[in-house]
Amino acid sequence: MKIGTITTGLCSLLIASALVTLWWSGRAVSQFQGQFPPLYAGIDSPGAVLAEQNPNPRHFFEGRVDWPLLNIAEPRTAWEYTQRGIHFQDDVGNLEAAMADYMRADALERGRSCGPGVPPVPGRTCLQILHARLANISLERGDHDRAIAELEFLLEENPLAPGLHFDLAEAHLGKGELDAAIEAFNAELDIQPCHQATHFELGELLLQRGDEMGGRELLTEYLQQALLHCDSFPFKILKARKLLTDHGGPLEMVGSKCPATLKGPVDQVLSVPVSQITARMGCNPPGTRFHEEGQTQTVSALD
């Protein structure tokens, strides 16, 4: 009888403890919900209702979310306009509609002190994914001033992001600002010492500026990287070889920061057939055509 009474008492105590725990947990969740709001429904807070989300969170999810999954009738915030713009651009192929949404998002962001040339404001929200899209579209359209402004803003937020300095250099080249382009290319090599495209572009630029040694070294390193890792643009290999031949031949890259350098005679960068380089699996799709030594070649997948 005593054992049954003790057992019943223990069960009652456990149930009471569980109820108290649930009550305090509910209070804790309610208390901290306002301090740590979720970003957006379906991204970091599964099951949350979109209407309850903070329209101006301190940080946004900096990635793409399929627009239909958000179940939003009409965008309200810069982030939502950006997501619909990405949907228009990537899924629908309507760049004009995408740009309209991007510009609406940009206007909302700038209204909260976010944008190139605007002094930073504590707690501001800066959509890097938006400005990256605007930078790329501006480059494609030849709007170099807008591209430079967007890229410089992105670099303020993330100065070590790979590829941004390269794009900035391309924008400066488009404006004929060669010194600024060289500076940006060198900044990219500080971040990515083995960046093939930078070796090629900067090498060619240095030759144009009369820096024979610097240009030959960089183009030699570009061709070394092409032999090691291929290049999906065969014409660049042919152009680099012609430039080197016209300016005295390849040179060893003295003091290169790139650890992946080709072993063996440096002249081999001129001798390996381009078709052999580009025929590697994954380099170019079968049927890719290019010119080598005056003849049209067709790349096969397993050649």
pLDDT 10s per residue in the chain (303 long)? Answer: 445 555 555 555 555 554 444 444 444 334 434 443 444 544 554 445 555 555 566 567 788 888 887 778 888 888 889 999 999 999 999 999 999 999 999 888 776 666 666 666 655 567 889 999 999 999 999 999 999 999 998 898 789 999 999 999 999 999 999 999 999 999 999 999 999 999 999 999 999 999 999 999 999 999 988 888 888 888 999 999 999 999 999 988 777 788 766 777 788 889 888 888 877 766 765 544 444 444 444 433 333
Confidence at residue 53, expressed as pLDDT on a 0 to 100 scale: 57
Give 57-117+124-192's CATH code, choosing from 3.40.640.10, 3.40.190.10, 3.30.160.20, 1.25.40.10: 1.25.40.10
The reported pLDDT for the residue numbered 56 is 61
Judged by DSSP in three states, 178 sits in helix
* pTM beyond cutoff 0.85: no
Side chain identity at 237, as an amino acid letter? I
Cβ neighbours around 123 below 10 Å, total: 11
Query: Rounded distance, CA 297 to CA 287, Å?
Result: 9
Q: How far apart are CA 84 and CA 96, in angstroms?
A: 12
How far apart CA 60 and CA 76 sit, in angstroms, is 14
As a whole number of angstroms, the distance between CA 286 and CA 283 comes to: 9
Q: Is 161 helix (H, G, I), strand (E, B) or coil?
A: coil
DSSP 70-119: H--SS--SHHHHHHHHHIIIIII--HHHHHHHHHHHHHHHHTTT-STTPP
Which of 149, 129, 128, 127 shows the shortest CA–CA distance to 138? 149
Determine the Cα–Cα distance for residues 85 and 101; give it in Å rounded to an integer: 5
| Domain locations along the chain | 57-117+124-192, 211-303
